[in-house]
Amino acid sequence: MSSQLSTLLSEQRRFPPTPEFAEGAHATQALYDEAVRDRLAFWAEQARTLTWIHPWQSVLEWTAPHARWFSGGQLNVAANCVDRHLSGARRNKAAIIWEGEPGDRRVYTYWELGQEVGRCASALKGLGVQKGDRVAIYLPMIPEAAIAMLACARIGAVHSVVFGGFSAEALRDRINDAECTVLITADGGYRRGSVLPLKRFADEALTDCPSIRHVVVVRRRPGGEGDEAFATMREGRDHWWHRLLEQAAPTCPAEPMDAEDMLFILYTSGTTGKPKGIVHTTGGYLTHVAATTKYVFDLKDEDVFWCTADIGWVTGHSYVVYGPLANGATVMMYEGAPDWPERDRFWKICARYGVTVLYTAPTAIRAFMKWGPEHPARHDLSQLRLLGSVGEPINPEAWIWYREHIGGNRCPIVDTWWQTETGGIMITPLPGVVTTKPGSATIPFPGISAKLVDVHGTVLEKGGGFLVLTEPWPGMLRTIYGDDARYRETYWSRFPGRYFAGDGAKVDDDGYWWILGRVDDVLNVAGHRIGTMEVESALVDHPAVAEAAVVGKAHDLKGQAIAAFVTLKDGHAATAEMRDDLKEHVAKKIGAIARPDDIFFSADLPKTRSGKIMRRLLRDIAEGRALGDTTTLADPGVVARLREMYEAEES
Ligand code: WT7
């Protein structure tokens, strides 16, 4: 990490836009100028590209930390993502091109998508779902996931998508927190050749979810109905998706929603053991994701846009479903793993469907690098014209590899910084306008105000510090579901009046942003956000564990890996079996993504006099450095220093 960081900070390469790209690009310098002149007018202009049922009265009402965007306006998100494309040439255009991991394929034109969304919306209404009710979605990456989300949006129900890799317990907690009344799941999903039995996990979760009245089950497995191993249907509660939709009307009126009505809740990890239900609303969110999709990805009608994120993360919400469909784009969707059955699966897909814009994560790019350039080289990737990166800092080496071996040294790269909380992209180059530097997310999107501050909140022109957002933006989270006090405390109290993102960053002499990573107790494991406290709570929940401390350790592919320090209760032995047992326990409580890589048994955990665990010391141990000795490192790491400053101020 330290050598990577010093490379990052001394990176001198520059990639100015080519005249050919700039000429045809949506983005122009004028867009930045306009937003500087009048930020709210800029956002209003973006909002006007959407179809509104009723115009708004004010662009922004801001009583910190609560924003209301486009107040008084009414619109429907599903009508914007589907219906408005049905009257013109897009009616028969592919909206979703999907490939399952086993190789099955489906294409939905906008017309067909509209029919399916309509049927699903009617079916949900038939089950008694009303405007404002919460619907949990626990599905693999299949078209039904997007259809279910849009169906909720159509009738004004609030969806809460739970990533299919989360455990039954994680699902249960999320359902209960939002008191969801309906759960939409599947008999299974394919991953690396085997079936993830989602309905079985769901049944386990539902033993303790009193609010759930109905479960809708997609039949993903061929001939799956009646296959008791994957889905036992409970009479009266459980319904097969295909049967319900068969009987449902394909037309269902789109509910007029206020701009500030809730669109979805998405749970994300924070610094406590309990995930936060991030609340996003209708008009501002759609404006933000539609505008960023258009300008950051330079999306045109002919494009095939593939954002490889799972629908269970915000990237899937904003850039698989809402952003691209609001733009009438063709979306590529793939169910499974990048190395199944071979390590060239992504490139096969790009070639087969003529993918033009690819948006993926550094952790995947680093894996492709490791697997070798021969895999992409076997396929025709000449249709690609733009590449994107998201989820974690991208090291310059991976950036350059991506550019060369995937982008043929021809495609601009957009490294996009944002968060579940921001709803849409915040810091990014606009292709055709901004010169890129490998490893830098460059500059804020027009209309976004980011500032660098020191530990006291003093604004810095450049150098290292903390990333804060100083003005509200349309896609911002509105609150934490059911816990507004936590919303104020988590995001707005550290630097009063400003949103604190939790990231350390550097701004260089050109005003470019280099995002360095989290300075709070949130880990980024393979682009997935995991709270150290969540893993600690899962560990101490095990009967043999007295105390646990979790830290992130640098990892070549995953960025960070989870290392846990565990003190066992008397009478329990620190054995290899215990180690496996504890790893399994965490996977069962949270999901496989949170399974610790290393578990260190220790008689005591190192603490300060005030009782705070000395995480810095634990990170040194986990990363194999001599205790407290940083002299062996070329650069002890900017993030580590920032984190120490942050932690010292906090305690
Ligand atoms: C955290 C947010 C938003 C998409 C997926 C992650 C890190 C995200 C970048 C980037 C450096 C990045 C930050 C951020 N992050 N994008 N381009 N460069 N770091 O969403 O789970 O809410 O995580 O991911 O640390 O705070 P998320």
* Number of structural domains in the chain: 2
Q: Within 10 Å of residue 543's Cβ, how many Cβ atoms?
A: 8
pLDDT mean over 241-259: 97
Three-class HEC string of 308-366: CCCCCCHHHHHHHHHHHHHCCCEEEEECCCCCCCCCCHHHHHHHHHCCCEEEECHHHHH
Pocket residue to mutate for ligand 1, from 4, 416, 417, 477, most atoms within 8 A of Cβ: 417
The answer to whether residue 510 sits within a structural domain is: no
Residues contacting residue 501 through CB under 8 Å, at least 6 positions apart: 419, 421, 422, 466, 467, 468, 469
Predicted pLDDT of residue 10: 73
Q: Are residues 296 and 402 in the same domain?
A: yes
CB 573 within 8 A of CB 555: no
Residue 33 lies in a domain: yes
Q: Does the beta carbon of 314 lie inside 6 Å of ligand 1? A: yes
Of 440, 443, 524, which is best to mutate to test ligand 1, by the most ligand atoms within 8 angstroms of its C-beta?
524
Owning domain of residue 79 = 24-504
> Both 378 and 305 in a single domain?
yes
Q: For a pocket test of ligand 1, which of 392, 491, 519 has the largest count of ligand atoms closer than 8 A to its C-beta?
A: 392
Q: Does ligand 1 lie within 6 Å of residue 503's CB atom?
A: yes
Burial of 69 (0-12, 13-18, 19+ CB in 10 A): buried
Please, are residues 416 and 389 in contact by the beta-carbon 8 Å criterion? yes
CATH of the domain at 451: 3.40.50.12780
640 in the same domain as 582:
yes
For residue 490, what is the DSSP state? I
Q: How far is CA 418 from the centre of its chain?
A: 9
513 lies in a domain? no
Our answer on whether the CB atom of 360 is closer than 6 Å to any ligand 1 atom is: no
Percentage of residues in the chain with pLDDT exceeding 90? 87
**Number of the ligand 1 atom closest to the C-alpha atom of 516:** 11
Shared domain check, 420 and 334: yes
pLDDT in tens, 420-473: 999 999 999 999 999 999 999 999 999 999 999 999 999 999 999 999 999 999
- Does the residue 534 lie in any domain? no
Of 456, 480, 504, the residue that ends a domain is 504
Question: Residues near 593 by Cβ (< 8 Å), separated by ≥ 6?
Answer: 165, 166, 525, 526, 528, 530
Strand stretches in 85-234, DSSP E:
94-99, 105-109, 134-138, 158-161, 182-186, 189-191, 194-196, 214-218
Atom of ligand 1 nearest to the CA of 529: 21
Q: Which residues contact 284 (CB under 8 A, 6 or more apart)?
A: 67, 69, 70, 259, 260, 423, 473, 474, 475, 476
Which of 141, 140, 165 has its CA nearest to residue 593? 165
Whose CA is closest to 182, among 128, 225, 131?
128
Average pLDDT over residues 627-633: 41
| Contact status, residue 68 vs residue 56, Cβ threshold 8 Å | no
Look at residue 608 in the predicted model and tell me its pLDDT: 78
Average pLDDT, the chain: 93
Ligand 1 pocket mutation, candidates 268, 360, 419, 437, criterion most atoms within 8 A of CB: 419
Strand partners, 504: 466, 517
The predicted pLDDT at position 633 comes to: 32
Are 553 and 500 part of one and the same domain?
no
Q: Is 219 in the pocket of ligand 1 (CB under 6 A)?
A: no
- For residues 356 and 474, state if they share a domain: yes
Of 474, 504, 534, the residue that ends a domain is 504
Q: What are residue 194's DSSP bridge partners? A: 191
pLDDT at 635 over 60: no
- Of all atoms in ligand 1, which is nearest to the CA of residue 393? 11
**Of 457, 481, 504, which residue constitutes the final position of a domain?**
504
Measured between alpha carbons, how far is 383 from 605 in angstroms, rounded to an integer? 54
pLDDT category of residue 55 using cuts at 50, 70 and 90: very high
| Ligand 1, atom nearest to 527 Cα | 6
Q: What is the DSSP string of 21-58?
A: HHHH-S--HHHHHHHHH-HHHHHHHHHTTS--SB--SE
The closest-lying atom of ligand 1 relative to the alpha carbon of residue 417 is 17
332 touches 353 (CB < 8 A): yes
Which ligand 1 atom is the nearest neighbour of the CA of 518?
25
Segment 247-273 shows an average pLDDT of 96
Q: Which residues contact 187 (CB under 8 A, 6 or more apart)?
A: 197, 198, 199, 217, 218, 219, 220, 221, 224, 227, 230, 231
Instruction: Summarize pLDDT for 207-217 with one digit per residue, the tens.
Output: 999 999 999 99
Answer whether residue 6 shows pLDDT above 60: no
In this prediction the pTM is 0.94
State whether 499 and 549 are in the same domain. no
pLDDT digits 0-9 by tens, 348-365:
999 999 999 999 999 999
Tell whether 570 and 463 lie within a shared domain: no
Minimal-distance CA residue to ligand 1 atom 1: 419
pLDDT number for residue 636: 41
Please, what is the angle between helix 576-589 and helix 532-540, to 10°? 120
Residues 496 and 572 in one domain: no
271-308 tens-digit pLDDT: 888 899 999 999 999 999 999 999 999 999 999 999 99
Ligand 1 binding pocket includes 391 (Cβ within 6 Å): yes
Would you state the pLDDT for residue 644? 75
What CA–CA distance (Å, rounded) separates 612 from 646? 14
Structure confidence at residue 442 (pLDDT): 98
In a domain, 524, yes or no: no
Q: What is the mean pLDDT of residues 396-410?
A: 97
* Tally of CA atoms within 13 A in the half-sphere of 34 that contains its CB: 14
pLDDT at 612: 80
- Report the amino acid identity of residue 275: P
Which pLDDT tens digit goes with each residue over 70-113? 999 999 999 999 999 999 999 999 999 999 999 999 999 999 99
> Is 499 found in the same domain as 557?
no
Is residue 113 included in any domain, yes or no?
A: yes
- The per-residue pLDDT for range 124-149, each reduced to its tens digit, is 999 999 999 999 999 999 999 999 99
- Positive or negative torsion for Cα 365, 368, 373, 379: negative
Cross-strand bridge partners of residue 107: 97
Neighbour count for residue 206 (Cβ, 10 Å): 21
Q: Record the tokens describing residue 18, joined without a space.
A: 């080519």
**Is residue 518 in contact with ligand 1, taking CB distance under 6 Å?**
yes
With respect to residue 11, please indicate whether it lies within any of the assigned structural domains. no
CATH number of the CATH domain containing 590? 3.30.300.30
- Is the Cβ atom of 154 under 6 angstroms away from ligand 1? no
Identify the pLDDT of residue 231: 77
**What distance in angstroms lies between residue 179's CA and the mean position of ligand 1's atoms?**
28
Regarding the beta carbon of 415 and ligand 1, being less than 6 Å apart is answered: yes
235 and 334, same domain (yes or no): yes
- Cβ burial of 604 (10 Å; 0-12, 13-18, 19+) is exposed
Does the CB atom of residue 532 touch ligand 1 within 6 A? no
Does the C-beta of 439 come closer than 6 Å to ligand 1?
A: no
The answer to whether residue 621 is domain-embedded is yes
Pull the structure tokens for residue 76: 């429907």
What is the distance of C-alpha 198 from the center of its chain? 20
Same domain, 590 and 494: no
Inform me whether the pLDDT recorded for 512 exceeds 50: yes
